[in-house]
Amino acid sequence: MKVPMSARRVKDIMASKIMLVLTLAAVALIFFMVAGLYFKSRPILASQPLSELFFSSRWRPFRGEFGFLSFIMGTVWVTGVAVLIAVPLCLLTSIYLSEYANSKVREWVKPLIDILAGIPSVVFGVWGMLVVVPFIKDVVAPFAGVFSTGYSILAGGIVLAIMIFPVIIHVSLEIFRAVPQEVREASLAVGATRWQTIKHVVMRKALPGVAAAVVLGISRAFGETMAVLMVVGNVAKIPHSVLDPAYPLPALIANNYGEMMSIPLYDSALMLAALILLLVVLLFNALSKMILIRVQRSIR
């Protein structure tokens, strides 16, 4: 028995409306999170000027001093070291998989990269404590002529770089493979070598997309908590070297939320740290999305 056309149309309209509502609800979660964190951060914002919160390194909760500068700088240092390590390696890997590797190698490597993306961050943290930290303490620091416990920005940067490999590699690989084959053939036809074609033609065409991949990697690195917390040292001071310990914002929240909440403004200060992280991650994600849209339009 056939369902009348009108009834089928009503069901179709209802299904589309329900999916629209669910989509809007998912999008609204972001705004609810921002609003909730801002509401919880209002006491600290009302009691202290932004200049003191963001440009002071005095973190003495018992005295009512909540300067985020050392935590912000720790986050920037660890993220910067991770990006400096990850970008060249990921870029060369993406170029090899896109331009040189045969299909069999590509089919074997891509699932392994996916596995790397699925490893829990705590496993990376344990590996960093067992391998990276002793290596920095016993090899890198003596070579540099300084003392270090191994728990440092460099340790956090190395662990974090490995964690963002899959993000940058996957996006960069898709961008390289989206470059039309005709562009490569035209370059080879005028006598350019394969590497010259990649360097001067493919890279030039794909550069904005690679930039978007790096921005996505920064966004992923900026909010990472557990692995970095385990190897970075968690010392609340402004670092001056990659061998110094640091205290990133995510580690501050993870280590202290739920403890010493009887201290006035302490809960609000931690919520402000979470709000800062959320806004920065949203900014980087929006920026990378804008770049990718422009790349897709230019390639078409």
Write out the chain's pLDDT in tens, 300 residues. 454 557 778 878 888 889 888 888 888 888 888 898 899 888 888 888 888 888 888 888 888 788 889 999 998 999 999 999 999 999 999 999 888 888 888 888 888 888 888 888 889 989 999 999 999 999 998 998 888 888 999 999 999 999 989 888 988 888 888 888 888 888 888 888 888 888 888 888 888 888 888 888 888 887 777 788 889 988 888 888 899 999 988 888 888 876 666 677 888 888 898 898 888 888 888 887 777 777 666 655
158 contacts 128 by C-beta, under 8 angstroms: yes
pLDDT tens sequence across 127-179: 999 999 999 999 998 998 888 888 999 999 999 999 989 888 988 888 888 88
Q: Which residue carries 């909440």 as its tokens?
A: 261
Q: What confidence score (pLDDT) does residue 299 get?
A: 57
pLDDT of residue 116: 84
User: Does residue 284 contact residue 216 with C-beta atoms inside 8 Å?
Assistant: yes
pLDDT of residue 1: 47
CATH of domain 69-299: 1.10.3720.10
